Amino acid sequence: MPAYGEILMAELADIGFDSFMESPQGIEAYVEEGLLDQAALDEVIGKYATQTALTVATELMPRINWNEEWEKNYDPIMVGKEVYVRASFHPRRADFAHEIIINPKMSFGTGHHATTHLMLEFLLELQVAGKTVLDVGSGTGILAIMAHKLGAASVEAFDIDDWCVDNGDENFSLNGLMNLRMGLGTIREVSPHGPYDLVLANINKNVLLDEMDLYARILSLEGMLLISGFYEHDTLDLMQKAQLLHLVTVRQQIRNNWAAVAFKKV
């Protein structure tokens, strides 16, 4: 299962599962009872059952104290020697240039997933100071927080999930960003005006393909678009779409079969 774990979690997320926990027995995936699509679940499981030994058990869970659960399983991470990402109950580290406090609860984006890690690496490589930044599908708000800590002149963030909005706002406050609050809705609903020097979008391939023209439209000339949330084999499709929008590929990175690409508007 380890070889297929991240791919399987991504597939389950696409059909409505909204949180995951890895354990010695495998993966625990959670979905609201009324949102479970059994046919879609059977299709995903069937796809991987022919490639690896796979046993599935489903049960209706009682209400869970999620704070207690992720406190037992969430460890701090380091991005290079510059960024330390921790929860509020973890000890501080003075030996890192940047410390980010994330209490993830049910939101995506603690830095543990390869895509978030790749996006943080990209941000560290760029000149973010003085830039205007938009974080699309912000999740926990970790990328928006990183941009602020790197000296961005302004940061805006939004997500389609009201739980993420609440969680993101909590994380902004934990990191001292009292004036930054997350918007609710899709990019079409939020309708950010721009122009932005930097647009961040760690979502999934289908959303990126659907919305990339909107990202390009609100980018300033020479502005950068950083995207992730897709597999390495999907990179070409996204690059081809970007090329049609006058977005030139500047850099791409791979981590555990997941990809991130940086584009510049010309």
Q: Where are the alpha helices (DSSP H) in 80-160?
A: 114-125, 142-149
Cα distances from 180 to residues 8, 150, 200, in angstroms, run 34, 15, 16
Residue 170 backbone phi and psi in degrees, to 5: -60, -45
User: Closest Cα to residue 69, out of 15, 9, 123, 22?
Assistant: 22
pLDDT band at 28 (very low <50, low <70, confident <90, very high): confident
Q: Where are the alpha helices (DSSP H) in the chain?
A: 2-14, 38-49, 66-73, 114-125, 142-149, 162-174, 187-190, 205-218, 235-244
CB 37 within 8 A of CB 16: yes
Return the SS3 of 74.
coil
pLDDT band at 209 (very low <50, low <70, confident <90, very high): very high
Cα distances from 262 to residues 29, 122, 200, 247, in angstroms, run 31, 8, 9, 9
Distance CA 171, CA 110 (A): 11
Strand 98-101 with 83-86, pairing: parallel
pLDDT band at 1 (very low <50, low <70, confident <90, very high): very low
Q: Where do the structural domains in the chain lie, given as residue ranges?
A: 2-63, 107-265
CATH topology of domain 107-265: Rossmann fold (3.40.50)
Return the SS3 of 80.
coil
DSSP state of 201: E
The whole-number pLDDT of residue 3 equals 57
Distance CA 257, CA 46 (A): 21
Mean pLDDT of 181-207: 95
Instruction: Kindly report, residue by residue over 232-259, the tens digit of the pLDDT.
Output: 999 999 999 999 999 999 999 999 889 9
The whole-number pLDDT of residue 68 equals 56
pLDDT band at 32 (very low <50, low <70, confident <90, very high): confident
CB 138 within 8 A of CB 161: no
Question: What angle do the packed helices 114-125 and 142-149 form, to 10 degrees?
Answer: 20
The whole-number pLDDT of residue 62 equals 66
- Name the residue with higher pLDDT: 3 or 122: 122
Instruction: Kindly report, residue by residue over 137-192, the tens digit of the pLDDT.
Output: 998 999 999 999 999 999 999 999 888 899 899 999 999 999 999 999 999 999 99
User: Closest Cα to residue 98, out of 80, 116, 115, 113?
Assistant: 80
Dihedral of the CA atoms 182, 188, 194, 197 (nearest 10)?
80
The whole-number pLDDT of residue 178 equals 92
Instruction: Kindly report, residue by residue over 84-143, the tens digit of the pLDDT.
Output: 999 888 889 999 999 999 986 655 556 678 899 999 999 999 999 999 999 999 989 999
Mean pLDDT of 52-62: 77
pLDDT band at 224 (very low <50, low <70, confident <90, very high): very high
Residue 242, Cβ neighbours under 10 Å: how many?
24
